[in-house]
């Protein structure tokens, strides 16, 4: 499941918008930890928490606007504390990580390295794209070479059970991307098929 938002009430209006102010970091962490622990105890399958994509992109003057829905929850330190405290696995969405790193002015490799990569159990993969204002969007687009390079870098540091390709607009493009992802996975799984690509329509 996605890591929750930092505001008590949110709604969708072209993106997740907070209807109430952001809660303090310690309150969000405590509530999210308690929720994940309760869910983990109620389920007989592993529970994975997925990282979100930070929407608080810097303005042209370099200031990061307030975006209460995403406060705290996309920070690598918050995610690390939450995953370890709740004792759950990490569903690492690489496009979300790229968007969050760009929004926070951080190199994506440094952003990822600050996460609990030993807890990665699944990877979601799709291509982000620049918006008209230059910020990065979780566009669920086709993969570019740098997306595949980031997947390879991540696989060097993780042991996921599988990779989900989150693209579904064009069948030919989906199959082409799946083949490219398979090539990367084969290079990291010794070609034994231990990892499976799962095309998923989003």
Block residue for tokens 């095309």: 199
Kindly state whether residue 3 falls inside one of the protein's structural domains: no
SS (H, E, C) 85-144: HHCCEEEEEHHHHHHHHHHCCCCHHHHHHCCCHHHEEEEEECEEEECCCCCEEEEEECCC
pLDDT of 138 above 90: yes
Rg (CA), the chain: 17
**Count of domains observed in the chain:** 1
**Predicted local confidence at residue 55, as pLDDT:** 83
In a domain, 11, yes or no: no
Cβ contact 55:70 at 8 Å: yes
Inside any domain, residue 21: no
Report d(CA 22, CA 105) in Å as an integer: 21
The structure tokens listed for 184 are 């990367």
pLDDT tens track for 25-81: 999 999 999 999 999 999 999 999 999 999 876 666 656 556 788 999 999 999 999
Read off the CATH number of the domain in which 130 is found. 3.20.20.150
pLDDT in tens, 184-200: 998 886 444 455 555 55
Cα–Cα separations (whole angstroms), residue 58 to 6, 108, 165, 183 = 19, 16, 29, 36
**Domain enclosing residue 100, as ranges:** 47-58+74-200
């Amino acid at each position: 499941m996605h890591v929750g938002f930092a505001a008590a009430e949110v709604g969708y209006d072209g993106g997740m918008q907070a209807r109430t102010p952001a809660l303090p970091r310690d309150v969000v962490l405590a509530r999210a930890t308690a929720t994940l622990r309760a869910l983990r105890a109620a389920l007989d399958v592993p529970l994975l928490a997925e990282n979100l994509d930070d929407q608080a992109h810097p303005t042209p003057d370099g200031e990061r606007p307030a975006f209460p829905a995403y406060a705290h929850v996309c920070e690598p330190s918050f995610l690390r504390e939450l995953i370890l405290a709740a004792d759950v696995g990490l569903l690492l969405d690489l496009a979300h990580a790229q968007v969050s790193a760009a929004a926070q002015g951080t190199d994506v490799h440094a952003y990822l390295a600050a996460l609990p990569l030993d807890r990665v159990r699944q990877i979601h993969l799709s291509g982000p794209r620049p918006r008209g204002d230059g910020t990065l969007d979780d566009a669920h687009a086709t993969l570019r070479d740098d997306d595949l390079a980031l997947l390879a870098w991540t696989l060097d540091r993780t042991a996921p059970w599988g990779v989900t390709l989150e693209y579904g607009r064009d069948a030919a493009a989906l199959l082409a991307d799946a083949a490219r992802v398979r090539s990367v996975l084969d290079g990291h799984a010794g070609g034994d098929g231990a990892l499976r690509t799962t095309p998923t329509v989003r």
